[in-house]
Amino acid sequence: MENSTIYVPKLITKKENFAPGHRACIGCGEALAVRLAFKSIGQNVIVVNATGCVEIFTSQLPYTSWRVPWIHTLFENTAAVASGIESARKAMVRKGIIEDKNTKIVAIAGDGGTIDIGLQALSGAMERGHDFLYICFDNEAYMNTGIQRSSATPFGASTTTSPAGKESIGQFAWKKDMPAIAVAHNIPYVATANPSYPFDLMEKVKKGLAAKGPAYIQVLSACPTGWGCAGELSVKIGRLAAKTGVFPLYEVENGKYRITVDFPKLLPITDYTSLQKRFRHLNPEMLEQIQQKVIEKYEELKEKAEMSGCCCQAGTEE
């Protein structure tokens, strides 16, 4: 496996379906994640994009960063639009109107567009079993509108609508467990990923595409602008999110959990939080509370993986 990290990069396509020249912020983890994901996805795809950072920084009439067919309509309806495209192609292939080329439908959205306002449409599309891959690029707040909290914002993080203050600890609720919600829909594939582990991410995207039916991947995407860190720390912070257990990397294939990049000993969460301004106001008691929650959730996840009979795999993408 260690050797593969030397050779695998050579096998990855040089072709960029997500073209350079977009207008993302410096160090944008989301732009990196989209680029890597679309190396796995290839060209035989139709992309449905929710309103959000990616939609804005990749489009502006008359320009586009997309070398694949791409459609954006609204914020909360991405999964529904994807289900319309999937159904249309199914009907048209059956009726001989178009050729069956096994074209994939990929919906992409941010955490707000997925976990808050788009949850109903996504739940509907997953429940109906449309054959599509939904990727949530989770930067843990409404970054496009100016860093407002979403239900994916982690506990304690300061945002413009959950500001830390004399009477406020910042974000008051724990991050909504969206992958668990996706799993509860009994879909064939659910995963978490993070562009700091590029091969893991690309492998999961491939699996999600290959799955027959709905697949959901939540990709933690560091946001230097919103998280308050230097642009060059984006990849490092992504790694620390996994190594501290704050955002574990796992997959759920047909209900079976597997931790794909495991760490026998988690680093303290302060290694992760101390690099970001959004957590700077937290006192040791608050940090300890978060630490306990992270350990508890990680243990839960490990238990699920063990129950599924899947071996955990030590982190190798170093």
Partner 1 sequence: MSKRVGIEVSIALADVVGMANTDVVAAYPITPQTHIVEHLAELVADGELDAEYIPVESEHSAMSACMGSAAAGARTFTATAGQGLELMHECLYVASAMRLPVVMAVANRALSAPISVWGDHSDVMACRDTGWIQIFTENGQEVVDTALCAFRIAEDNNVLLPTMVHLDGFHLSHVIEPIMMPEQSQVDAFLPPNKYPFFLDPARPQAMGDFAPPAIYTETKWAQEVNLQKSKETILKAWKEFAEIFGREYKPVESYRCEDAKILLLTMGSYSETAMTAIDAMREKAECENVGLLRLRLWRPFPTDELRKAVENADVLIILDRALSFGSAGGPVGMEIKSALYDVSKKPKIVNFVGGLGGRDITVGNFEELIKKGIDIAGNGSENEFEIFGVRE
Binding site for partner 1 (CB under 8 A): 43-46, 48-49, 55-56, 59-64, 66-74, 76-77, 79-92, 94-95, 97-98, 101, 103, 120-121, 123-125, 127-128
HSE toward the beta carbon, residue 152, CA cutoff 13 A: 30
The two beta strands, 164-165 and 63-64, are: unpaired
Indicate the residue among 77 and 159 with the shorter CB distance to partner 1.
Answer: 77
Indicate the residue among 36 and 80 with the shorter CB distance to partner 1.
Answer: 80
Q: How many Cβ atoms are within 10 Å of 62's Cβ, its own excluded?
A: 5
Which residues have CB under 8 Å from 222's CB, separation 6+?
Answer: 27, 29, 139, 196, 229, 233, 234, 235, 237, 238, 241
DSSP run (H or E) holding 243: helix 234-243
Strands (E), 168-306: 168-169, 189-193, 215-220, 249-253, 256-261
Please tell me whether residue 40 adopts helix, strand or coil conformation.
Answer: helix
Indicate the residue among 41 and 305 with the shorter CB distance to partner 1.
Answer: 41
Indicate the residue among 54 and 282 with the shorter CB distance to partner 1.
Answer: 54
Least Å distance, CB 39 to partner 1, is 16
> What φ, ψ does residue 108 adopt, rounded to 5°?
-130, 140
The distance of Cα 98 from the centroid of its chain, to the nearest Å, equals 32
Indicate the residue among 86 and 262 with the shorter CB distance to partner 1.
Answer: 86
| DSSP, res 249 | E
CA pair distance 54, 23, nearest whole angstrom:
9
**Which amino acid, one-letter code, is at 305?**
A
Least Å distance, CB 109 to partner 1, is 13
Least Å distance, CB 36 to partner 1, is 19
| DSSP, res 15 | -
Least Å distance, CB 69 to partner 1, is 4
Picking from 33, 76, 206, the residue whose alpha carbon sits closest to that of residue 133 is: 206
Least Å distance, CB 86 to partner 1, is 8
Least Å distance, CB 81 to partner 1, is 4
Distances (CA, A) of 221 to 38, 71, 189, 241: 15, 22, 20, 10
Picking from 270, 296, 275, 51, the residue whose alpha carbon sits closest to that of residue 174 is: 296
Least Å distance, CB 295 to partner 1, is 37
Please tell me whether residue 200 adopts helix, strand or coil conformation.
Answer: helix
Least Å distance, CB 105 to partner 1, is 9
